[in-house]
Structure 1
């Protein structure tokens, strides 16, 4: 699966999976090969697709080959660079800064965890890089990739363990 953008400063792109293409929103700072916590950039590179989470109270259990888990109201994701659980799932209340996965705005009704900075974590290199639901106007993200809800449901249905996500500039032909 590939994410392409027209230029490195654009916050819009295209997710390409086989012959299918889906418009997507990217980080407010575009793409970066040197991602840092809080910079608003989507990290360039090839990243594993780890697992999916969904809101069982809002959508049906999606069909996917990825490991799948329902989001609970206490689920979070640590974004505190000095915390031992940096860029890991945690439960709220949590002692350090941690994003809530149970959101009111529907953006995390379905999320796919991108394997960025997760095996050998580097402090301040970025956390919580997900593929999630876009706003209706495709507003830029904080560094994630966001698609229309129905496109994301279709895409997660095609995903299998061992697949990678390639994020990089699009080479127009």
Structure 2
């Protein structure tokens, strides 16, 4: 099922609309690594990762897999693993997916710059849990935990990001 995320901070799926946090760099078609922007694009939901020590697996239409403390996501454009899930530690810059806060308790891996990967076009674009104040993300789309579970249970398979 298709959801639409808009630059004004809302995500709509079916008849339901949810508040969403988006990138601190706005919404951009020309997304680049480190710009903090959410890509202006159609983003397929590839899979969902979750912290099994913090909650049950979410119900969703895509493959679901538990995270481990060694999971990371390479954000180093010079590395062959750029924009891919990796096992930590690695000798490259990588974001730790097993966080102390709750933001990555559920992660929807969105299909940005992954088929094929182009160095410097941006990495680690996720659908994840928002901060309580919906503060801007580094380019991801963030929802309240209950809203994220609801959106996934509605059968989300793609997000269209619009201005």
* TM-score, normalized by the shorter chain, greater than 0.5: yes
Match among 2, 5, 8 for residue 3 of structure 1: 5
Match among 148, 152, 158 for residue 164 of structure 1: 158
After the TM superposition, which residues 74-89 of structure 1 pair with which residues of structure 2 at under 5 Å, given as runs?
A: 74-89=70-85
Match among 8, 20, 23 for residue 19 of structure 2: 23
How large is the RMSD of aligned CA atoms in angstroms? 0.9
Alpha-carbon distance between aligned partners in 2 of 1:159 and 1:66, rounded to the nearest angstrom: 8
Alpha-carbon distance between aligned partners in 2 of 1:124 and 1:33, rounded to the nearest angstrom: 14
After the TM superposition, which residues 86-125 of structure 1 pair with which residues of structure 2 at under 5 Å, given as runs?
A: 86-125=82-121
Provide the aligned length of Structure 1 versus Structure 2: 161
Offset of residue 165 of structure 1 = 1.2
Alpha-carbon distance between aligned partners in 2 of 1:57 and 1:33, rounded to the nearest angstrom: 37
SS at match of 2:160: strand
TM-score by length of 1: 0.91
TM-score by length of 2: 0.96
Alpha-carbon distance between aligned partners in 2 of 1:81 and 1:158, rounded to the nearest angstrom: 35
Alpha-carbon distance between aligned partners in 1 of 2:155 and 2:81, rounded to the nearest angstrom: 27
Offset of residue 164 of structure 1 = 2.0
Alpha-carbon distance between aligned partners in 2 of 1:148 and 1:15, rounded to the nearest angstrom: 11
Match among 32, 37, 43 for residue 47 of structure 1: 43
Q: Give the ranges of 4+ consecutive aligned residues of structure 1 lying more than 2 Å apart after TM superposition.
A: none
Higher relative contact order (CA 8 A, sep 6+): 2
Offset of residue 5 of structure 1 = 2.2
Where does the alignment leave 5 or more consecutive residues of structure 1 unmatched? 7-12
Alpha-carbon distance between aligned partners in 2 of 1:90 and 1:24, rounded to the nearest angstrom: 27
